[in-house]
């Protein structure tokens, strides 16, 4: 098996793992902020995180299917992976901005210490896995581009 093909399988698996973690953390954080105590703007970054994770899962599944189906051209895979990378870096940036801007984990937080510790313990990994997914997608974009052939099929090696 070609080294690039092995790397592609590994990266697709890492993207699936990252997407599942992002969805799980974003759903958990959304449940913390969904009560009436917080304005709607506090919920939006985590809804976007759920969307980002779901789109990453779709992109990973599509990329894996393209490895087995030679009818899928390489530029179709890049067309799905490119926006997924943009969604991941934007989602990670939004969570970090939300984390810093509203002082969620500062001294003025409006919940008890246990809940504060739980929320702050999940916001960091949520943004970290979004940035990790972005890096994995950049590697996948490069691997897909390098594995293409002149006819546009993704299965051939260069």
Q: What is the DSSP string of 50-73?
A: HHHHHHHHHHHHHHHHHHH-TTS-
Least confident of 75-79, 85-89, 100-104: 100-104
Across 35-44, 86-95, 101-110, which has the greatest mean pLDDT? Answer: 86-95
Euclidean distance between CA atoms 21 and 142, whole angstroms: 24
**Tens digits of residue pLDDT in 35-49:** 666 666 677 888 899
Collapsed DSSP state (helix, strand, coil) of residue 148: coil
Please give the average per-residue pLDDT across 75-95, as a whole number: 92
Place of tokens 């313990």: 121
Residue 118: the pLDDT is: 72
Residue 72: the pLDDT is: 83
Euclidean distance between CA atoms 103 and 34, whole angstroms: 18
Q: Is the pLDDT of residue 6 over 80?
A: yes
Euclidean distance between CA atoms 116 and 106, whole angstroms: 9
Place of tokens 């801007």: 101
Tell how far CA 153 is from the center of its chain. Answer: 26
Q: Is the pLDDT of residue 100 over 60?
A: yes
pTM above 0.85, yes or no: no
């Amino acid at each position: 098996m070609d080294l690039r093909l092995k790397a592609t399988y590994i990266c697709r698996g890492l993207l699936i793992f990252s997407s599942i973690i992002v969805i799980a953390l974003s759903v958990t954080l959304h449940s913390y902020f969904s009560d009436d105590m917080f304005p709607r703007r506090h919920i939006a970054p985590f809804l976007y995180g759920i969307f980002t994770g779901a789109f990453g899962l779709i992109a990973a599944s599509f990329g894996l299917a393209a490895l087995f189906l030679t009818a899928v051209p390489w530029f179709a895979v890049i067309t799905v992976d490119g926006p997924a990378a943009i969604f991941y870096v934007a989602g990670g940036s939004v969570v970090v901005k939300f984390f810093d801007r509203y002082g969620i984990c500062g001294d003025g937080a409006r919940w008890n210490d246990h809940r504060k510790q739980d929320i702050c313990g999940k916001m960091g990994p949520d943004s970290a896995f979004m940035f990790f997914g972005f890096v994995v997608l950049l590697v996948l974009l490069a691997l897909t581009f390098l594995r293409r052939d002149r006819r546009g099929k993704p299965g051939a090696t260069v």
